Amino acid sequence: MASALRKGLGREVPCAPCVPSPDILHYRNKALIPFGPKGYGFYRPHSHDIVPTENCPIQSEAAGTAAKVLWAHMQKFGMKAYDEESHTGLVRGLFVRTARVTGQVMAVVIINGSEIPQQNDLTAALQGGLPNLASLQICINRQQTNVLLEGQLKVVWGAPYIEDVLSGNRYRISPRSFYQINSAQCEQLYAAAGELAGLTGHERILDLYCGIGTIGLTLARKALEVVGVEVVEDAVKDAREAAAANSIENARFIAADASEAARQLSEEGFTPDVVFLDPPRKGCDEALLETVAGMSPKKVVYVSCNPATLARDAGILENMGYRLTGEALPFDMFPRTAHVETCVLLS
């Protein structure tokens, strides 16, 4: 982290000690498990070769159980796994979400077809192995693509979402909605982000790349207004539902590209006091950063899982008049990996 910031900003930036994760095993609440002719597991680095893996120590135990049940069902009823080279076979993969507080489990079977043979048998088997199963869905993906969770979603049993509790708020989480994969560590991260923002109850917050609204809704009771922006419509629906379910009336959410929404809000005269940025690994595009700087917020709180793009974007904002102040705050969001989540303040 320190090296990336030194390179991006041309100076030393102090880094606080990395905040340890409360959980270091089975902490991941999301698993995307590809299936192939030789079995299921995870991709070898920089390839689509599947390394057979029955149990992964950082994934939820529910994910491992669901994969075993699905594979056994396939063997029992002669179902073929998908072959990328020939574009044949039915089962492409399995997506599993696990809620840390409620314990609810979602399983999405990704298929190269329209339905799963002996679907009722699979449902019963999964219910037997996963007592907290709350949602079973299929994702119909017939495209010749390496993006697994793409295509029409259909509910087989239960709800189209699971529910979890984060920092006292209850959330619905749909399959494609962004939700931090380490829920316990996420609460510590958001608490630190709130402290950097220094909210007094009078601030307008713009929460870009908001996912299901977890940052904005966590801090909404300490702010005057929250506007969240997210490109995934299902996530925006989840965010709106969460605001209503938690009786938060000062938050609204927009389904749009972050750059377009920020520009539109700026043209409408919306003037945030604090902007939260939590982009994907590729970071923000320069046009968005220009729009944010043009809104003249007093503070920009940047949360990132990629030190290189964080440093790059912080450098761009510094060229626009902002200054990274205080320490960079690293969080061990992904224990037993080389990745780190970082939070910084620019003002």
The CATH number that applies at residue 125 is: 2.40.50.1070
pLDDT(2) > 90: no
Beta bridge partners of 304: 342
> 8 vs 32, which has greater pLDDT?
32
- The verdict on residue 172 lying in a domain is no
Confidence band for 77, pLDDT divided at 50, 70 and 90:
very high
List, for residues 37-46, the tens digit of each pLDDT value.
999 999 999 9
- Residue 162 near residue 132 (C-beta atoms within 8 A): no
Residues 187 and 330 occupy one common structural domain: yes
Half-sphere exposure at residue 6, Cβ-oriented, CA atoms within 13 angstroms? 6
As annotated, the active-site residues are 305
- Total tally of structural domains belonging to the chain: 2
Residues 200 and 155 occupy one common structural domain: no
Residues 232 and 294 occupy one common structural domain: yes
Task: Share the mean pLDDT of the chain.
Answer: 96
Residues 45 and 101 occupy one common structural domain: yes
Nearest to 279 by CA among 310, 320, 312: 310
User: For tokens 């608490």, what's the residue?
Assistant: 191
Residues 296 and 341 occupy one common structural domain: yes
Output 195-202 pairs: Cβ under 8 A, ≥24 positions apart: 196/299, 196/301, 196/326, 196/329, 196/343, 196/344, 196/345, 197/274, 197/276, 197/299, 197/301, 197/345, 198/299, 199/223, 199/274, 202/273
Residues 74 and 203 occupy one common structural domain: no
Residues 38 and 160 occupy one common structural domain: yes
Q: With DSSP H G I counted as helix, E B as strand and the rest as coil, what are the percentages for the chain, rounded to 5?
A: 30, 30, 40
| pLDDT value of position 146 | 82
| pLDDT value of position 89 | 97
Confidence band for 217, pLDDT divided at 50, 70 and 90:
very high
Among 138, 167, 196, where does a domain finish? 167
List, for residues 277-334, the tens digit of each pLDDT value.
999 999 999 999 999 999 999 999 999 999 999 999 999 999 999 999 999 999 999 9
| pLDDT value of position 145 | 86
In the three-class reduction of DSSP (H, G, I as helix; E, B as strand; rest coil), residue 169 is classed as strand
List, for residues 131-180, the tens digit of each pLDDT value.
999 999 999 999 998 889 999 999 999 999 999 999 999 999 999 999 99
Residues 129 and 261 occupy one common structural domain: no
- The verdict on residue 288 lying in a domain is yes
Residues 189 and 84 occupy one common structural domain: no
- The verdict on residue 176 lying in a domain is no
pLDDT(65) > 90: yes
The parent domain of residue 259 ranges over: 2-22+182-346
Beta bridge partners of 88: 83
- The verdict on residue 173 lying in a domain is no
Residues 273 and 157 occupy one common structural domain: no
- The verdict on residue 48 lying in a domain is yes
- Residue 39 near residue 47 (C-beta atoms within 8 A): no
| pLDDT value of position 70 | 98
Among 136, 167, 198, where does a domain finish? 167
| pLDDT value of position 7 | 86
Residues 320 and 197 occupy one common structural domain: yes
Q: What is the CATH number of the domain that holds 253?
A: 3.40.50.150
- The verdict on residue 204 lying in a domain is yes
Nearest to 1 by CA among 302, 307, 318: 307
Residues 10 and 84 occupy one common structural domain: no
- Burial (CB count within 10 angstroms: exposed 0-12, middle 13-18, buried 19+), residue 23: middle
Nearest to 99 by CA among 240, 229, 212: 212
Q: pTM higher than 0.75, yes or no? A: yes
pLDDT(338) > 90: yes
Confidence band for 78, pLDDT divided at 50, 70 and 90:
very high
| pLDDT value of position 1 | 85
- Residue 90: phi and psi, rounded to 5, are -95, -55
- The verdict on residue 286 lying in a domain is yes
CA separation for the pair 37, 26 (Å, rounded): 27
CA separation for the pair 283, 240 (Å, rounded): 25
List, for residues 114-124, the tens digit of each pLDDT value.
999 999 999 99
pLDDT(71) > 90: yes
Confidence band for 9, pLDDT divided at 50, 70 and 90:
confident
- The verdict on residue 64 lying in a domain is yes
Among 101, 135, 167, where does a domain finish? 167
